[in-house]
Structure 1
């Protein structure tokens, strides 16, 4: 599996005012990272369009962005519901044992006994720790906490995760 060149950091939800600002729902762990970005890439579905960031503000859970050269609501309205991406070079640095969601979703999950257990289909952010949703043939959907006791190894190059099934995780 080839890793995506771009990672999503937000989605334009609506326009904000009439001067070309947009309200963005951040899909990054740290919304303040927009302040460090010089540009984002708009995925229109047909093309990738680079947009230079001119201003960053915050409103409730949203980030308000102003792009250079877009000064009118009519120039930005058509981009509602479209994702904003950053290149991997502009992505945040990860700590050890941290991964971009895009790199582990659809990953094959094996038990520590070497058996294929299922596929990682979703990641629930619960606050204390993430919870991985594993789709299995034998047990249906299984929730595995993303903690060191359960997640033994993640190999993004081989698209493989190794887990330890603690007692009580599957019924």
Structure 2
């Protein structure tokens, strides 16, 4: 399962809820055939009756949620989809969950060497509008204990992604 959105509030009095989708385009979330709801008590399937884009998010109606009180109970809950339902991407495209936890390696050009040093692991990504940003946190074997924010710019910053090897190579500054 993969987090695909979060219920952020109620919409009207008939059980509709506002959803902040984690998909690139809000409407994409409406195309998944099965949704699951992660609650404090576990994960359960939910059925999408209706939904539409509203601003930067969605408003949706889930089966069995027919009043504002029931909708309010869902506030803050996470919507999940099956990983195998994700659309296939091109060769050099990745889902965020594929990049999370990769080791990030960088050439130590300051020392006149082509040897790579470990900067840390990708903890998560941030969407900034201009480009996505990798939040790289130190890990065992990394060169220091600093968190780094590295723009996810294929070709100019990100040189190579090796999912099977669990690593990414970047051109970045090694601050002292």
TM-score (norm 2): 0.80
Deviations for 1:60-107, whole angstroms, at most 9, x for unmatched residues? 222001112322233332221011011012223322222222222232
**Aligned equivalents of 1:122, 1:37: Cα separation in 2:** 24
Counterpart in the other structure of 2:165? 158
Contact 1:38 1:52 in 2 (8 A): no
Which SS does the other structure have where 2:116 is aligned? coil
Which SS does the other structure have where 2:69 is aligned? helix
Counterpart in the other structure of 1:133? 135
Whether 2:150 is the aligned partner of 1:144: answer: yes
Consecutive unaligned residues of structure 1, counting only runs of 5 or more, are 1-5
**Aligned equivalents of 2:116, 2:174: Cα separation in 1:** 18
**Aligned equivalents of 1:126, 1:13: Cα separation in 2:** 20
Which SS does the other structure have where 2:101 is aligned? coil
Whether 2:62 is the aligned partner of 1:55: answer: no
Contact 1:142 1:170 in 2 (8 A): no
Q: 1:80 aligns with which of 75, 83, 100?
A: 75
**Aligned equivalents of 1:75, 1:164: Cα separation in 2:** 50
Residues 36-47 of structure 1: pairs in structure 2 closer than 5 A: 36-47=31-42
Consecutive unaligned residues of structure 2, counting only runs of 5 or more, are 108-114
Contact 1:37 1:53 in 2 (8 A): no
Q: CA deviation at 1:139?
A: 6.8
Deviations for 1:97-155, whole angstroms, at most 9, x for unmatched residues? 22222222232112243322212223232333222222345372323222213212223
Number of residue pairs the alignment of both structures matches: 164
Based on CA coordinates, which of the two structures has the bigger radius of gyration? 2
TM-score (norm 1): 0.82
Structure 1: 4+ residue segments shifted above 4 A: none
Residues 104-119 of structure 1: pairs in structure 2 closer than 5 A: 104-112=99-107, 113-119=115-121
